[in-house]
Amino acid sequence: MARVLVVEDDQFVRSALIRHLTEASHTVRSVGTALEALREVAHFGFDVVILDLGLPDLDGAEALKMLRGVTQVPVIVATARDDETEIVRLLNDGADDYLVKPFSVEHLSARMAAVLRRARGTAAGTGAPGGEDRVIRVGGLAIDPLRRQAELDGRRLDLTRREFDLLAFLAQRPGVVVPRRELLAEVWQQSYGDDQTIDVHLSWLRRKLGETAASPRYLHTLRGVGVKLDLPQESARP
């Protein structure tokens, strides 16, 4: 059972979602505008938000950015827009997943379940035995999965939710080439997807680590194979 906020201005779609989610034993609240959604998340605790983009008062993409300013609750974007560039931008702006309308209730349920599994796994943390925090260190990188904080050479990194998840997942396997399919399954909780989604997040992450694909330090892409995080060459020297 999850606490769900449905943000949808189409009354027919909204009623159908409420009925389906309630029948699945979820607790549901619903609003029809972006401003109402912001008020809801400020006053109530939710496990997931289903966000329509075509809202009457504010474009859903802007609403997503505003939501990310006040909460880290998982957001599934429901959109009629199927432009790949737009979808990648939404994921980079903080969406946890997206569904292109029209979609089936079974599809929504599967996506919700995946997002909730991932969110609850993150909330459980990755503490070491005895309750001590386990900080992952690779060269100058220090990543604290429990506090969801990362530093590079003592400087705090300002990472989005997905950037942090990607960095932490790779840092837990230093020197290991992780196939893209595994990244989609473990970081994005998707069994399929477009490589461009991974490439965009890698590009932003590299920028924040002060490197590029042409001159990598930590993040290395092996074309046709996958991605690995490894010690910079200067750190690996004896």
The whole domain housing 117 covers: 3-124
State the pLDDT at residue 135. Answer: 85
Token couple for 143? 């990543």
Residues 93 and 178 in one domain: no
Residues 79 and 96 in one domain: yes
Residues 94 and 60 in one domain: yes
Residues 139 and 94 in one domain: no
How far apart CA 120 and CA 47 sit, in angstroms, is 9
Range 25-44 average pLDDT: 89
How far apart CA 157 and CA 203 sit, in angstroms, is 15
Range 45-71 average pLDDT: 87
Nearest alpha-carbon partner for 136 in 162, 160, 167: 167
Residues 10 and 99 in one domain: yes
Residues 134 and 120 in one domain: no
Query: Which domain-ending residue is among 106, 124, 142?
Result: 124
60 with 68: CB under 8 angstroms? no
How far apart CA 4 and CA 122 sit, in angstroms, is 18
What is the chain's alpha carbon radius of gyration, rounded to the nearest angstrom? 19
What is the pLDDT of the chain when averaged over all its residues? 83
Could you tell me the pLDDT band of residue 151, with boundaries at 50, 70 and 90?
Answer: very high
State the pLDDT at residue 198. Answer: 86
Please give the full DSSP string across 62-78, using - where no structure is assigned.
Answer: HHHHHHHHH----EEEE
Residues 20 and 119 in one domain: yes
Angle, CA of 28, 186 and 224, to the nearest 5°: 135
Query: Which domain-ending residue is among 66, 96, 124?
Result: 124
Please give the full DSSP string across 124-187, using - where no structure is assigned.
Answer: H--PPGGG----EEETTEEEETTTTEEEETTEE----HHHHHHHHHHHTSTTPPEEHHHHHHHT
pLDDT digits (tens, 9 = 90+) for 16-30: 999 999 988 888 999
- 117 vs 89, 112, 172, CA distance in Å? 24, 9, 19
Number of domains in the chain: 2
200-225: b (≥16 Cβ within 10 Å) or e: bbbebbbeebebeeeebbbbbbeeee
pLDDT digits (tens, 9 = 90+) for 163-207: 888 999 999 888 888 888 888 888 877 766 667 788 888 999 999
Residues 37 and 114 in one domain: yes
Query: Which domain-ending residue is among 85, 104, 124?
Result: 124
48 with 115: CB under 8 angstroms? yes
Residues 138 and 116 in one domain: no
Find the CATH number of the domain harbouring 212.
1.10.10.10
Residues 143 and 118 in one domain: no
- Contacts of 85 by beta carbon, 8 Å cutoff, 6+ apart: none
- Contacts of 97 by beta carbon, 8 Å cutoff, 6+ apart: 74, 76, 77, 111, 114, 115, 188, 189, 190
pLDDT digits (tens, 9 = 90+) for 128-141: 333 334 788 899 99
In this prediction the pTM is: 0.56
Residues 21 and 98 in one domain: yes
Find the CATH number of the domain harbouring 35.
3.40.50.2300
Q: How far is CA 232 from the centre of its chain?
A: 27
186 with 121: CB under 8 angstroms? no
Residues 50 and 144 in one domain: no
